[in-house]
Chain A
Amino acid sequence: MIRLINVCKDYETKAGPRRVLDSITLDINPGERVGILGRNGAGKSTLIRLISGAEQPTSGVIERNMSVSWPLAFSGGFQGSLTGADNVRFICRIYGVEFEPRLEFVEDFSQLGIYLNEPVANYSSGMRARLAFAISMTIDFDCYLIDEVMAVGDEAFRDRCKEELFVKRRDKAMLIVSHSHRYLKETCERYLLFREGRVDEFEDFNEVYFLYKQMLGEGFDNKEQMIAAMQQ
Chain B
Amino acid sequence: MPSKNAPSPTLGRLVNQSPWTINRRVISALLIREMLTRYGRNNIGFLWLFVEPMLFTILITLFWTATKTIHGSNIPIVAFALTGYSSLMMWRNMPNRALSAVTSNMSLLYHRQVTIMDIYTSRILLEFMAGTTSFVALGVIFYAFGWLTLPEDSLQVLGGWMLLAWFGAGLGLTVGGLSEKFDVVKKLWPPFAFLLFPLSGVAFIADALPPHMREIVLWLPMLNALEYLREGWFGSAMHAHYDVPYVMIFNLVLTFMGLSLVRQIGLDSSEVE
Contact = CB atoms under 8 A, between A and B. Distances in A.
A146 to B, nearest CB: 13
A139 B12 contact: yes
A138 B272 CA distance: 31
Contacts, number: 115
Interface in A83-108: 86, 90-97, 100-102, 104-105, 108
Interface in A56-102: 56, 67-68, 70-71, 74, 76-77, 79, 81-82, 86, 90-97, 100-102
A20 interface: yes
Contacts of B1: 100-101
A140 B14 contact: yes
A46 B22 contact: no
B115 to A, nearest CB: 10
Contacts of A79: 33, 36-37
B272 A96 contact: no
A140 B14 CA distance: 6
B146 to A, nearest CB: 40
A90 B114 CA distance: 12
B14 A102 contact: no
Contacts of B12: 92, 95, 97, 102, 138-140
Nearest to B270: A12
Given A41-B273, A46-B273, A96-B21, A105 B267 contact: no
A101 B109 contact: no
A93 B271 CA distance: 28
B13 A140 contact: yes
Nearest to B14: A67
A199 interface: no
Contacts of A100: 1
B4 A104 contact: yes
B7 interface: yes
A140 B4 contact: no
A64 to B, nearest CB: 9
Contacts of B107: 74, 76-77
A168 B9 contact: yes
A90 B29 contact: yes
B194 to A, nearest CB: 28
Contacts of A71: 110
B36 A81 contact: yes
Contact of A70 (B10, B13, B111): B111
A54 B109 contact: yes
Contact of A168 (B8, B13, B110): B8
A68 B107 CA distance: 16
A94 B110 contact: no
Nearest to B1: A101
A164 interface: yes
B11 interface: yes
B214 interface: no
B271 A11 contact: yes
Nearest to A75: B107
Nearest to B10: A140
A29 interface: no
Question: Counting chain B CB atoms within 10 Å of each CB, which of A49, A90, A96, A100 scores highest?
Answer: A96
A77 B33 contact: no
A153 B148 CA distance: 61
A17 to B, nearest CB: 9
A172 B7 CA distance: 14
6 closest cross-chain pairs (CB), A and B = A93-B29, A76-B107, A12-B270, A70-B110, A139-B12, A77-B107
Given A11-B269, A53-B109, A95-B12, 5 more contacts: A70-B112, A81-B36, A91-B111, A93-B25, A96-B17
Interface of B: 1-2, 4, 7-15, 17, 21-22, 25-26, 28-29, 32-33, 36-37, 40, 106-114, 266-273
